[in-house]
A = this chain, B = another copy of it.
Amino acid sequence: MKIEEIGGEFALIDLLSERVPNTHGDLVVGIGDDAAVIRTAPEPAPYLLATTDIMVEDRHFRRRWAGPEQIGIKAAESNLSDIAAMGGRPTWMFISLVLTKDTDETWARRLYDGIGASCRRHGVIVAGGDTTRGAVNAINITLLGTVAPAHLCLRSQALPGDLLMVTGPLGASAAALDLLTRGEPVADYLLGKHLSPACRLDAAASIAPLVHAMIDISDGLGSEVHHICNRSQVSAEIHADAIPLHETVRAAGETLQTPPVDFAIRGGEDYELLFSIKAENLPALEKTGIDFYKVGKVTAGDATPVLLTAEGRLPLERGFDHF
């Protein structure tokens, strides 16, 4: 059966996970969060975090739009973002690189310059990798990290009554992609967010001790709210008007005749953080100096989050599916 017919990416992951051993007493969190959480010594020793992401040409990047440094930055930042979402600190990186016959070493070298820039910014060391030839250019990054057990943030930790917050404006990357695809001019702000995104490790370190659930926004706000609801066995209300949007995202909405909030909900690759927090922790959150935007709240219920709009309550759409 085709992957679409079984229900797409997350149905596939469920189906594949059952074919392999996937539980262990020292696996605090396995498949299904932003990173795996592994106990390597008794608490309070830090947990080991591990995340892996593969980017394939013409699916995750296009050489005619993105320079090799930008592709490298995006590959690194998407993994760094997963470690940020756990409340962790990144440490060691492993890079697998597939190069086509017509790709030259200059492109590969500049790709690594981009990865290196992200690594230097966050104190990450490249400890290994693999290189091979193949029919399409692709980069797999595995990133390890550590987190103090007390600061670990999981998708499953949201509680009814929590406020739902994001760390920055959303939808810029998706708006840029749609404009590029249609051949429309793209504002520099949008292009920067799409081609050279920056993870929010800066914000995560301050936020992690204060919040319940946390997740990074890689597949659109819709998907991420659904993930938190599913894993926490709660529901949520998102206020469409409260979703922070940059003025250029609103302008893209006009150009493309798309409600701009759609870029935030169904688009992806924003790499901002979505978190749930109890109201009592708001003063402490404000003291961190980190910008945040309230977009809704966690409710009791069966993982059917809703979007509150001027037209009424709508089911919250899911975001990007890789299949």
Which of chain B's residues has its CB closest to A103's CB?
B3
- Verify A54–B132 contact, CB threshold 8 A: yes
Which of chain B's residues has its CB closest to A13's CB?
B131
Q: Which residues of B contact A22 (CB under 8 A)?
A: 125-127
Q: Which residues of B contact A2 (CB under 8 A)?
A: 104-105
Q: Is A235 on the interface with B (CB-CB < 8 A)?
A: no
Min Cβ gap A69→B in Å is 10
Tell me whether A125 and B24 are in contact in the complex, defined as CB-CB below 8 angstroms, given that A13-B131, A60-B132, A135-B58 are known contacts.
yes
Tell me what chain A mostly uses at the interface: helix, strand, loop, or mixed: mixed
Checking B127, B138, B142 against A31 with a beta-carbon cut-off of 8 angstroms, the contacting residue is: B127
Q: Which residues of B contact A112 (CB under 8 A)?
A: 16, 19-20
Q: How far is the CA of A54 from the CA of B96 in the complex (A)?
A: 6
- Verify B104–A50 contact, CB threshold 8 A: no
| Stretch of A36-44, A170-178, A300-308 that contacts chain B | A36-44
Q: Is A129 on the interface with B (CB-CB < 8 A)?
A: yes
| A positions within 8 Å CB-CB of B | 1-3, 6, 9, 12-13, 15-17, 19-24, 27, 30-31, 35-36, 38, 40-41, 48, 50-54, 56-60, 92-99, 103-106, 108-109, 112-113, 115-116, 119-120, 124-136, 138, 140, 142, 144, 322-323
Instruction: Return 21 A-B CB contacts under 8 Å, by A number.
Output: A3-B99, A3-B133, A16-B97, A16-B109, A16-B129, A19-B109, A20-B93, A20-B126, A21-B126, A23-B125, A36-B92, A50-B92, A50-B127, A50-B144, A54-B96, A54-B98, A56-B133, A56-B135, A59-B133, A94-B142, A133-B322
